[in-house]
């Protein structure tokens, strides 16, 4: 029996047939390379579009994270909007990272670092995190991933997550609110086309002891 290939496989077995796609990124058409074996290779995913339409402009400087970057629509947007920032596109899928590196080089977006989760130096913290997270990895792996990265937000920073309503957006909202503690506040900031956008804000000042 052939096991079904997931978009979050480290080294996809499907033929690496590269193709070109022209997509709107930060308001201008960009031609990018995609391939089978990565998430949504034929277009910008609807959830990703909802996220990109909802989020406020990212900070101009600092370190910005696209958690689960795939071939790069979110990372490319962050780097286009904030050319002076360092933009981390993190993924476990090596083919996706290779595509993102090529897409960044093609458009001279030199602030992009497309890397695996273990290749972001420990002392890097993020001014913002944008993510269309991999819900299909399962709840335990998703929660582990979010607990690894959201606490690396700088004080005053916000993580924006888009999640399909039918795939547990509201229970993820409740879990984030109940798990992250008083330093963070989670809110739903948009609901469109079957998706929710959640904002997880890290307060500027730590909560006072006993509060």
Ligand X SMILES: C[S@@+](CC[C@H](N)C(=O)[O-])C[C@H]1O[C@@H](n2cnc3c(N)ncnc32)[C@H](O)[C@@H]1O
Interface with ligand X (CB under 6 A): 7-8, 39-40, 45, 48, 67-70, 73-74, 90-93, 96, 117, 132, 134, 137, 145
Query: Which residue number, 93 or 158, has a Cβ lying nearer to ligand X?
Result: 93
State the residue number with the nearest CB to ligand X.
68
In the complex with ligand X, which residue's Cβ is closer, 127 or 135?
A: 135
Nearest to 164, CA basis, from 138, 200, 142, 191: 191
**Cα–Cα distance for residue pair 131/148, rounded to 1 Å:** 14
Instruction: Report in angstroms how near the CB of residue 183 gets to ligand X at its nearest.
Output: 23
State the minimum distance, in angstroms, from the CB of residue 196 to ligand X: 14
Smallest gap from Cβ 178 to ligand X, in A, equals 22
Closest distance between ligand X and the C-beta of residue 73, in Å? 5
Give Cα separations from 72 to 29, 41, 49, 88 (angstroms).
Answer: 14, 10, 13, 10
Kindly tell me which of 96 and 153 has the beta carbon lying closer to ligand X.
96
β pairing state of 184-192 and 63-67: unpaired
CA distance 166 to 56: 25
In the block, tokens 């596109």 appear at: 89
């Amino acid at each position: 029996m052939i096991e079904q290939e997931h978009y979050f496989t480290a080294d996809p077995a499907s033929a690496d047939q590269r193709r070109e796609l022209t997509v709107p990124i930060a308001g201008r058409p960009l031609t990018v390379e995609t391939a089978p074996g990565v998430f949504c290779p034929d277009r910008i995913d609807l959830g990703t579009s909802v996220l990109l339409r909802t989020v406020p402009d990212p900070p101009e400087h600092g370190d910005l994270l696209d958690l689960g970057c795939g071939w790069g629509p979110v990372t490319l947007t962050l780097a286009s909007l904030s050319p002076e920032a360092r933009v981390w596109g993190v993924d476990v899928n090596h083919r996706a990272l290779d595509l993102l590196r090529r897409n960044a080089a093609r458009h001279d977006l030199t602030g992009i670092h497309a890397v695996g989760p273990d290749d972001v130096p420990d002392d890097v913290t993020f001014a913002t995190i944008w993510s269309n997270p991999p819900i299909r990895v399962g709840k335990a792996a998703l929660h582990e991933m979010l607990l690894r990265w959201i606490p690396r937000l700088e004080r005053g920073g916000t993580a924006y997550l888009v999640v399909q309503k039918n795939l547990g957006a509201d229970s993820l909202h409740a879990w984030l609110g109940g798990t992250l503690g008083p330093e963070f506040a989670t809110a739903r900031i948009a609901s469109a086309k079957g998706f929710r956008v959640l904002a997880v804000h890290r307060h500027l000042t730590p909560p006072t002891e006993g509060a």
